[in-house]
A and B are shown apart, each in its own frame.
Chain A
Amino acid sequence: MELRPILSTLRRHKITAWLLVLEIALTCAIVCNAVFMIGQRLERMDLPSGIAEHELVQIGLGHIGNSPDAIAQSQTDLAALRQIPGVQQVAVINQLPFSNGGSSNSGIRLSPEQQQDTLEASTYYGEGVLPTLGLHLLEGRDFRHDEYADFGTVIADLRNGDLKNLPSTIIVTRALAERLWPGKDALGQTLYVGKGLPFRVIGVVADLARPNNLNWGVGYSTVWPIRMTVADGSSYVIRTAPQDRDAVLKAAVAALKQLDPNRVVLVKRTYDEARHAFFANDRAMAGILVGVIVALLTVTVLGIVGLASFWVGQRRRTIGVRRALGATRGDILRYFQTENFLLASFGIVLGMALAYGINLFLMMHYELPRLPGIYFPVGALVLWAIGQLAVLGPALRAAAVPPVVATRAV
Chain B
Amino acid sequence: MFGYYIDLATRSLRRNKALTALMVLAIALGIGASMTTLTVLHVLSGDPLPGRSGTLYYPQIDPRDGQGYLPGKTEPMDQVTWIDGMNLLQAKRADRQALMTGGTVAIQPDNSTLDPFYEDARYTTADFFPMFGVPFRYGHAWNAADDEAHARVAVIDGPLNDKLFGGGDSTGRTLRLSGVAFRIVGVVGDWNPNPHFYDLNRKSYGEDEGVYVPLSTSQDVGMNHDGGMDCWGNGGGGNTPAHNAPCVWLQFWVQLDSPARAAAYRQFLVSYSEQQKALGRFQRPPNVRLRNVMQWLDYNQVVPDDVRLQTGLAFGFLLVCLVNMVGLMLAKFMRRAGELGVRRALGASKKALFAQLLVESGVVGLVGGVGGLLLALAGLWLVRRQPASYAALANIDPEMLFATFVLALGASLLAGLLPAWRACQVTPALQLKSN
Taking a contact as CB atoms closer than 8 A, the residue among B238, B306, B334 that contacts A281 in the complex is B306
| Complex interface: stretch among B141-149, B321-329, B358-366 | B321-329
Note all chain A residues with C-beta closer than 8 A to B398. none
Q: Chain A interface: which size bin?
A: 35 or more
Looking at the assembled complex, report how far the CB atom of A363 sits from the nearest CB atom of chain B, in whole angstroms: 13
B323 pairs with A23, CB closer than 8 A: yes
Report if B345 contacts A (CB, 8 A): no
A300 pairs with B327, CB closer than 8 A: no
Most chain B Cβ neighbours within 10 Å, of A27, A161, A311: A27
A116 pairs with B331, CB closer than 8 A: no
User: Within B184-239, which residues are at the interface with A (CB < 8 Å)?
Assistant: 222, 224, 226-228, 233-239
Note all chain A residues with C-beta closer than 8 A to B104. 62
| Complex interface: stretch among A178-186, A288-296, A371-379 | A288-296
Looking at the assembled complex, report how far the CB atom of B5 sits from the nearest CB atom of chain A, in whole angstroms: 23
A284 pairs with B29, CB closer than 8 A: no
Taking a contact as CB atoms closer than 8 A, the residue among A163, A194, A288, A303 that contacts B327 in the complex is A303
Report if A104 contacts B (CB, 8 A): yes
B178 pairs with A65, CB closer than 8 A: yes
A30 pairs with B26, CB closer than 8 A: no
| Proximity bits, B284-318, A CB within 8 Å = 1, else 0 | 00000000000000000000011001100110110
Taking a contact as CB atoms closer than 8 A, the residue among B237, B321, B327 that contacts A20 in the complex is B327
Note all chain B residues with C-beta closer than 8 A to A303. 22, 26, 324, 327-328
B118 pairs with A15, CB closer than 8 A: no
User: Within B400-425, which residues are at the interface with A (CB < 8 Å)?
Assistant: 418, 422
B22 pairs with A116, CB closer than 8 A: no
B321 pairs with A159, CB closer than 8 A: no
Taking a contact as CB atoms closer than 8 A, the residue among B68, B317, B328 that contacts A30 in the complex is B317
Contacts known (A116-B68, A285-B306); A151 close to B323, Cβ less than 8 A: no
B179 closest partner in A (C-beta): A65
User: Within A163-220, which residues are at the interface with B (CB < 8 Å)?
Assistant: 163, 194-195, 197
Looking at the assembled complex, report how far the CB atom of B418 sits from the nearest CB atom of chain A, in whole angstroms: 7
Looking at the assembled complex, report how far the CB atom of B149 sits from the nearest CB atom of chain A, in whole angstroms: 22
| Proximity bits, A26-44, B CB within 8 Å = 1, else 0 | 1101100010010000000
Report if B117 contacts A (CB, 8 A): yes
Contacts known (A155-B238, A284-B386, A299-B324); A306 close to B106, Cβ less than 8 A: no
Contacts known (A16-B331, A23-B323, A115-B68); A306 close to B117, Cβ less than 8 A: no
Note all chain B residues with C-beta closer than 8 A to A285. 306, 309-310
A233 closest partner in B (C-beta): B239
Report if B335 contacts A (CB, 8 A): yes
Note all chain B residues with C-beta closer than 8 A to A292. 33, 313-314, 317
Docked CA distance A154–B231 (Å): 15
Taking a contact as CB atoms closer than 8 A, the residue among B29, B242, B310 that contacts A288 in the complex is B310
Looking at the assembled complex, report how far the CB atom of A214 sits from the nearest CB atom of chain B, in whole angstroms: 13
Looking at the assembled complex, report how far the CB atom of A344 sits from the nearest CB atom of chain B, in whole angstroms: 14
Taking a contact as CB atoms closer than 8 A, the residue among B106, B233, B327 that contacts A62 in the complex is B106
A295 pairs with B67, CB closer than 8 A: no
Most chain A Cβ neighbours within 10 Å, of B115, B310, B331: B331
Note all chain B residues with C-beta closer than 8 A to A66. 179, 222
A18 closest partner in B (C-beta): B327
User: Within B9-43, which residues are at the interface with A (CB < 8 Å)?
Assistant: 19, 22, 25-26, 29, 33
Note all chain A residues with C-beta closer than 8 A to B330. 15-16, 19
Taking a contact as CB atoms closer than 8 A, the residue among B67, B226, B236, B242 that contacts A154 in the complex is B236
Report if B245 contacts A (CB, 8 A): yes
Note all chain B residues with C-beta closer than 8 A to A80. none
Report if B83 contacts A (CB, 8 A): no
B29 pairs with A295, CB closer than 8 A: yes
A62 pairs with B320, CB closer than 8 A: no
Contacts known (A30-B320, A117-B68, A303-B328); A232 close to B238, Cβ less than 8 A: yes
A296 pairs with B317, CB closer than 8 A: yes
| Proximity bits, A253-265, B CB within 8 Å = 1, else 0 | 0000000000010
Taking a contact as CB atoms closer than 8 A, the residue among B19, B29, B67, B422 that contacts A15 in the complex is B422
B323 pairs with A19, CB closer than 8 A: yes
A284 closest partner in B (C-beta): B386
Report if A231 contacts B (CB, 8 A): yes
Report if B180 contacts A (CB, 8 A): yes
A311 closest partner in B (C-beta): B331
Docked CA distance A277–B82 (Å): 35
Report if B125 contacts A (CB, 8 A): no
10 extra interchain contacts, Cβ-Cβ under 8 A, other than A115-B68, A266-B118?
A: A27-B320, A65-B178, A102-B227, A151-B238, A284-B388, A285-B309, A306-B19, A306-B22, A306-B328, A314-B335
12 A-B pairs within 8 Å (CB atoms) are namely A15-B418, A23-B327, A26-B319, A62-B104, A64-B106, A155-B237, A158-B235, A159-B245, A284-B387, A302-B25, A306-B19, A362-B309
